[in-house]
Structure 1
Amino acid sequence: MNLTIKGIATAALALLLSYSYSAKQAVALPQKINHPVTIAKSQPLTDTLIVPGERVGPITPTTTKQDLIKLFGASHLVDKTISGAEGIGSFAATELKLSQGRSLLVVWSDNTRTKPLDVRNLGSAWKTREGIGVGISLNELRKKLGNFKLYGLGWDYGGTILLDSSKLSRYQGKLILRVDGAANASEKFPNDYQAVSGDGTFSSSNSHWKPLGIRLTEIIVTLNPSEQ
C-alpha cells in the first residue's frame, strides 16, 4: 500500500514539474516571437512623390519630429541647426538618412520641431508628378517648364528658377528649384559662365548656358509658407 501511495505521489510530482515547465515555455515563447516586432518600428520608404505645398512622401505640413521617429526610426534621424539665406538667422532641422537617393532635410519653424517650414536636400529618388527631380538637365527642365527665366549663377540665390515665368506657375511659393553648372564649368568656359552670372535674370534659352552642363541641383518644398 505504501509503495502504491509513493508511486502515485511520484507520478503527481512529475506531472506537476512537467506542467510547470510547460507553463514557463508558454510564457517565454510569445516573448521570443514579439521581440523582433518591438525593434522593427519603421517601414521601408516607398512613396517618394513630391506634391508641392502638400507633401514630400509621407511628410506633410502637420508632421512632427515624433512622427518622423515613428515613420523611419530614431536611428535614421540627426538633429541639426542650419543658417538662413545670406547667413541671416538660424533654424532647427532634422536630417533623414536613407539609402538609394531618399535622404532629405526637414527645416522646422522653431526648436520644438513640431511644424515643418520646408523639406530640402532631397535625393535623386524624389520627384514631382511631372518627373522633376535633382539631376535632370536644363534641356529636360525646359521640356517640362517651357522657356523660363532664372537668376544668374554665383551668389546665394544663384540658379533659382522663376516659376511664375514657367508652365508650372501654380507652384510659385510652394516649390523652389535651383540649377548650377558642372563643377569645373567656370574654369573651362569662363566667358560663358560670366555671361550668365550675378543677380540679374536670364532666359533659359540663353546660348551661354549650353556649354556649362547645367542641371537641377536643389529642390525645396515649402509646407508652411506662412511660417517663413
Structure 2
Amino acid sequence: MRILALSLVLVTAPALGDEIKCEGPFAADSSESRLIETFGKENVVTGDVPGPEGSTVLATTVYPNDPAKSIEFGWWDEASLERTAYFTVPAGDTAPGGLKAGMTVKEVEALNGGPFYLYGFFWDYGGSAGFEGGKLGYIEGGCVVSVRFAVGDYPPDLDVTAISGDRQISSIEPLLATVNARVDTITVGYRDSSAAED
C-alpha cells in the first residue's frame, strides 16, 4: 500500500521542467490536503507571505526552502485552505499555455496568437500582463494566466518614458525589445467559483 501511495505521488507531482496543467494539485478544486498528498507533508508549509504593496497574505508554499522549485498557492477559502485562487510557476517549469520565464514579448505574442497589453514599468505593478481575446485568454482547465515582465540592460540615455508608470502598453511597442523585456514571473489564477454561484 505504501509503495502504491509513493507511485501516485511520483505520477502526480511534476518534475522540474515539466509543463504544469490546470488539473490535479493545480486544479480549481485543489486544497492544502491535496498538496500534502501530492508533494509530501514535509514539503508543504502554510503561513503569511508578502503580498502587494507591503501587505501580507495567507498562502501555502510547496518546497519553501528551494527557490528553484517553490510554488505558492492562495485560497479562496482561507479557513479551510481550499479552492485555488492562484499559484505561482517555478522558473524552470512551463506554465499552462506554454509560457516560460525568460520569454521575450514577441515570443509571448506568438503564443497568444496576437498582441496583448502590459502595464508600464518602474512601479508596483510594472510589467504585469493579462490576456483577453487571444489563445492565452482561454486555458484548458478554466485557469487564467498572467505574467510579469522585467526589463534587461539598456543604454542609460534611452528615453523610456513611453513604457514607464501606470499606463497600458501594447506588446507591439518597439521599446520593449530595446529594453530586452522578458517574462520574470508567471501566476495562474482561478475565478471564485462560489461567488459565481451566488
Please indicate, yes or no, whether the TM-score normalized by the shorter chain is above 0.5: yes
State the identity as a percent. Answer: 23
Which of the two has higher C-alpha Rg?
Answer: 1
Output the CA distance in 2 between the equivalents of 1:107 and 1:135: 24
Output the CA distance in 2 between the equivalents of 1:211 and 1:72: 41
Structure 1 residues 169 and 59: CA distance shift in structure 2, 3 A: closer
Alignment of 1:11-22 (within 5 A): none
> Does 1:142 pair with 2:109?
yes
Match in the other structure for 1:156? 124
- How far is the alpha carbon of 1:115 from its aligned partner? 2.7
SS of 1:93's partner is strand
Output the CA distance in 2 between the equivalents of 1:41 and 1:66: 18
CA RMSD of aligned residues (A): 3.4
* Equivalent pair of 1:103/1:123 in contact (CA under 8 Å): no
- How far is the alpha carbon of 1:69 from its aligned partner? 1.1
Structure 2 residue runs without a partner (length 5+): none
Structure 1 residue runs without a partner (length 5+): 1-33
- How far is the alpha carbon of 1:152 from its aligned partner? 0.3
Output the CA distance in 1 between the equivalents of 2:67 and 2:164: 33
Query: What number of residue pairs does the alignment pair up?
Result: 186
* Equivalent pair of 2:28/2:143 in contact (CA under 8 Å): no
| Greater percentage in helix | 1
Output the CA distance in 1 between the equivalents of 2:144 and 2:130: 12
> Does 1:204 pair with 2:174?
no
Structure 1 residues 112 and 173: CA distance shift in structure 2, 3 A: closer
Q: Using structure 1 for the length normalisation, give the TM-score.
A: 0.66
Q: Using structure 2 for the length normalisation, give the TM-score.
A: 0.75
Alignment of 1:55-70 (within 5 A): 55=22, 58-70=25-37
> What per-residue deviation string (whole Å, max 9, x for no partner) do you get for residues 125-179 of structure 1?
1332x42122212221122222222110112221122412644333698222221
- How far is the alpha carbon of 1:87 from its aligned partner? 3.6
* Equivalent pair of 2:25/2:35 in contact (CA under 8 Å): no
